[in-house]
A and B are shown apart, each in its own frame.
Chain A
Amino acid sequence: MKELFFSKDAGIKNIKQLKNDILSAIEEDSEVILNLSNQRRLDLSSVQVICSARIEAKQRKKIFKVSGMNNEIIKQFEICGYMKKGGEK
């Protein structure tokens, strides 16, 4: 299992790096957890990458999870159709 922190802002400017970081983590480990506790907000591009990483992991029969979300990020996921109010992880 690998826990991944993204040291920069998860946003369009660094999105390529975020993508590559996640991708190589998935390649190396069977279970990857992206810890978002150092992120204040996400933008759509990073939500898309996270969502796409799930698809990637699933096809490779691996696990990709997200943790450490604050309320604002949970709300952002909700808007993207992922979580409902009450926002358990």
Chain B
Amino acid sequence: MKTILVIDDSPTIRASVEFAVKPIGMEVKQAENGKKGLEAFSSLNSSGAELGLVIVDVNMPEMDGITFIKEFRKSDKFTPVLVLTTESEEDKIKEGKCVGASGWMIKPFKPADLVAVVEKLVR
């Protein structure tokens, strides 16, 4: 069983991600900002869960998505990180790309689209 870590300050987004990927057999771990995300990541690690994908929002209180990716990549090189943005924010995508994001997705998304992306990315 693979776990997807969803980091977004919007509970709706987190819930809809969970709703979308549960049917394809993914565990979902939620966190509401970058900092909480890092904590969730280390607790996942120590519990021995297999992290398959990180989905992270850009604009969040306490720690934004870009900073999160920077920190995250220090201890995990290979797990794909998907950046969620509200519209096609070119500069944010570029920034995320530089620090180690693997792809991006624009909110709002259709559950089916998310599933398709997740199925490809999760390793």
Contact = CB atoms under 8 A, between A and B. Distances in A.
B79 A13 contact: yes
Contacts of B78: 12-13
Interface residues of A, number: 6
Interface in B62-107: 78-79
Chain A interface, >50% SS class: loop
Contacts of B120: 41
Chain B interface, >50% SS class: loop
A9 interface: yes
Q: B interface, how many residues as a size bin?
A: under 10
A56 to B, nearest CB: 23
* Highest count of chain A CB atoms <10 Å: which of B78, B79, B120, B123: B123
A41 B79 CA distance: 16
Interface in A6-30: 9, 11-13
A43 interface: yes
A12 B77 CA distance: 10
Nearest to B79: A13
A9 B52 CA distance: 10
9 contacts: A9-B123, A11-B123, A12-B78, A12-B123, A13-B78, A13-B79, A13-B123, A41-B120, A43-B123
Given A11-B123, A41-B120, 6 more contacts: A9-B123, A12-B78, A12-B123, A13-B78, A13-B79, A43-B123
Interface of B: 78-79, 120, 123
Nearest first, the 8 closest Cβ-Cβ pairs linking A and B are A11-B123, A12-B78, A13-B78, A9-B123, A13-B123, A43-B123, A12-B123, A41-B120
